[in-house]
Amino acid sequence: MRLCTLRWFLAASHIFFIIALALSSSQALGARVKRTPHPNEPLTYIWPLPAQFSFGDGTLSVDPGLSLTIDGNGSGSDIVKAAFDRYRGIIFKRIDRFSFLRKLRERITVYDVSTLRITVHSASEQLQLGVDESYTLLVPKSNGQSVAGEVKIEANTVYGALRGLETFSQLCSFDYSTKAIQIYKAPWSIQDKPRFAYRGLMIDTSRHYLPIEVIKQIIESMSYAKLNVLHWHIIDEQSFPLETPSYPKLWKGSYTKWERYTVEDAYEIVNFAKMRGINVMAEVDVPGHAESWGVGYPELWPAPSCREPLDVSKKFTFDLFSGILTDMRKIFPFELFHLGGDEVNTDCWSNTTHVKEWLQNHNMTAKDAYEYFVIKAQNIALSKNWTPVNWEETFNTFPSKLHPQTVVHNWLGPGVCPKAVAKGFRCIFSNQGVWYLDHLDVPWESVYTAEPLEGIRDQSQQNLVIGGEVCMWAETADASDVQQTIWPRAAAAAERLWSQKDSGHTGNITLTALPRLQHFRCLLNRRGVPAAPVTNLYARTAPVGPGSCYAQ
């Protein structure tokens, strides 16, 4: 009987709140000024910083039994429902549910916020480059009474709703005095959207194998920073760990039979990522970086003593490459596919008799053959409805021959994206001097202040920079240290890619950004992500002495 009475009381309270909210909503919402706070105001500990927001000075309690209401055309979305369950687990992790239920039986407790209402306007769950990730988040103002209320997230797509859920989770804090979840600085009004469509992190599973669970942990942590593309550099010269049904001997090039990914593993990773609003862009780096392919199919090597680039003279090379892409197209739905094309040393072609003869018969130099291979690979990818992405060497060497849809991936240094967009190509910014995470001596400040649009003033050309990506090359990183190397510096790039360049917290980043990044690093730690200290001399190193997480 007591539980029934409690349910009736809470339901009645909720009805009274809705009536009160209806009477006062116009005044309350009208009082919210949609602006970007001045840098001298108290810091807003949301990472990455929203595009536009305002806040007050109130405090709201959040019901541990927080319920979800979804409406709009996307009300049936399993993606949103699953995300709500994940975030509810994160937010209320410190709440003893059994203790909470016991206290409920002893006395009736009414919280300021008992419902999260998510409105999703589109029923489509298609995830591609440029999907709408905008959202609005409204946290109500307390009317001074203990009346249960609701927080509202409104988004055009389920993926905007996911970003709103992440922001909501960061507004919720565990209060050690009350042992309850509270939202400070209420009311909140947040209108948010990303600055760039492509916000990526690259992982390398050829130099060191990463178990499935570790890749999932990386994807999960990416969602906390609102990154949305996992660039999976699956294969390289050291190992070929992916199952390829059309050419089953290829994964003989894996380090061991225990360090492989089945087709089912790859599906699982792609689906896991989609549930978090993250695309997976696969890479097959050709014609260089492919020595491991020849372990299963030695005929791909120009010679046993000269094993890369792949043999450009054989039809079998391109038949096999096409077979790989056919198999991978069934797994990876993202429209972009990375074809590599970097660091191609053509000496092997020039010094192998049959390849040299082929070059002569086709009136080609080795440099011509490099161009021939890249363009042929692009055409194969295009025939499978993929948009090709290539490392910048291809653009630097033969820009006029690349397909117009090509996305040029910068890495060698600054100044490449301005040249690429000037010729009409799209570009991804990954300048190794600032956004290569395996460069352990690059401090967070350099990552944070890097600018993908540097040197590009024309608006139409700026629009061709689709975003950027931090790269976690794995020569010195495996499951034991990869997360410490990725975080928190990847988060510094994530804010650059999500937040508006002219957002309020610029200027002296030691005062405006560093405390927030340290706060986010501690948030990652609380969520089980082993992010390293922010200000250590070398990335991923341990703290140098005792101290607070918020000052490391």
CA distances 212 to 261, 265, 333, Å, are 8, 7, 19
Give the residue among 71, 74, 30, 77 at the shortest CA–CA distance from 54: 30
Secondary structure tally for the chain: helices H, strands E: 20, 16
CA dist., res. 499 & res. 196, Å (int):
9
Q: Which of 41, 264, 299, 343 is catalytic?
A: 343
Omega before 418 within 30 of 0, i.e. cis: no
Give the residue among 43, 24, 23, 40 at the shortest CA–CA distance from 32: 24
Give the residue among 261, 204, 263 at the shortest CA–CA distance from 234: 204
Question: Residues 74, 528: contact at Cβ < 8 Å?
Answer: no
Q: Where is 155: in which H helix or E strand?
A: strand 149-155
Residue with tokens 């050709």: 286
Q: What are 361's two structure tokens?
A: 């018969």
The identity of residue 532, as a single letter, is A
* β pairing state of 135-139 and 149-155: antiparallel
CA dist., res. 21 & res. 476, Å (int):
56
Question: Residues 514, 533: contact at Cβ < 8 Å?
Answer: no
First to last CA, the chain: 53
Question: Residues 324, 246: contact at Cβ < 8 Å?
Answer: yes
343 is catalytic: yes
* β pairing state of 426-429 and 465-472: parallel
CA dist., res. 48 & res. 498, Å (int):
7
CA dist., res. 133 & res. 229, Å (int):
13
Question: Residues 488, 524: contact at Cβ < 8 Å?
Answer: yes
Active site residues: 343
